[in-house]
């Protein structure tokens, strides 16, 4: 109910284009982060593999995507712009190809996984950065403000609330599954939340 009232108040006093840009920047940023996380998770096992080659690949791909986006928006039209755009696409393809052939996957899902690894997440990273580049500067300021506010709420409240709940026995992990310890769980040992 609080979330609904808060959302309605924002919608009442805010221009629709501002809300759409905020929603777009948040969604695109999350998709960008998920694509990075999919590659990282598939190629890194903590304590076994060193993440530097994967992080280098992700940074190079991001920088190439940023260069493409900046060239698209700010380079003067003509053959030099076409050359820059083609160079960025070729560079991103070469980086991904070299990464694919030099860094082995440490996890290969048996049942379901992202296909065409690392091509599909790399394309997602490239496209999300390109689409993020089409938003205005005020959207980035608002996104930074609301992201900072969310991190502040997380650090000041959520972290402590989750530790307090665990310390009080409200949350726990049993056999790898989250459970809630209450009078109901004492009566029925198979009850899981």
Residue 161 pLDDT: 73
User: pLDDT tens, 4-23?
Assistant: 998 888 888 888 888 888 88
Average pLDDT value over all residues in the chain: 84
> What pLDDT does 172 receive?
53
pLDDT at 154: 86
* Residue boundaries of the structural domains of the chain: 2-135
- pLDDT level of residue 52 (50, 70, 90 thresholds): very high
Average pLDDT over residues 127-133: 94
Is 50 exceeded by the pLDDT of residue 193? no
Residue in 124, 72, 131 with CA at minimum distance from that of residue 96: 124
* 117 pLDDT more than 60: yes
What does the pLDDT average to over 151-169? 76
Q: How far apart are CA 78 and CA 106, in angstroms?
A: 44
């Amino acid at each position: 109910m609080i979330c609904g009232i808060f959302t309605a108040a924002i919608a009442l006093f805010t221009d629709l284009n501002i809300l759409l840009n905020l929603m777009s920047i948040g969604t695109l940023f999350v998709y960008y982060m998920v694509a990075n996380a999919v590659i990282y998770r598939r190629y890194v096992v903590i304590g076994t593999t060193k993440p530097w080659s994967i992080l280098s690949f992700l940074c190079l791909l991001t920088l190439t995507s940023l260069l493409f986006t900046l060239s698209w928006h700010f380079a003067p039209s003509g053959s030099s712009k076409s050359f820059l755009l083609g160079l960025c696409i070729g560079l991103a393809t070469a980086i991904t190809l070299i990464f694919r052939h030099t860094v082995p996957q440490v996890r290969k899902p048996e049942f379901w996984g992202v296909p065409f690894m690392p091509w599909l997440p790399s394309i997602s990273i490239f496209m999300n950065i390109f689409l993020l580049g089409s938003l205005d500067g005020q959207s980035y300021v608002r996104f930074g403000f609301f992201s900072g506010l969310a991190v502040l709420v997380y650090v000041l409240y959520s972290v402590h609330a989750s530790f307090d709940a665990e310390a009080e026995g409200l949350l726990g992990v049993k056999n790898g599954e989250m459970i809630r310890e209450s009078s109901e769980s004492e009566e029925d040992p198979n009850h899981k939340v």
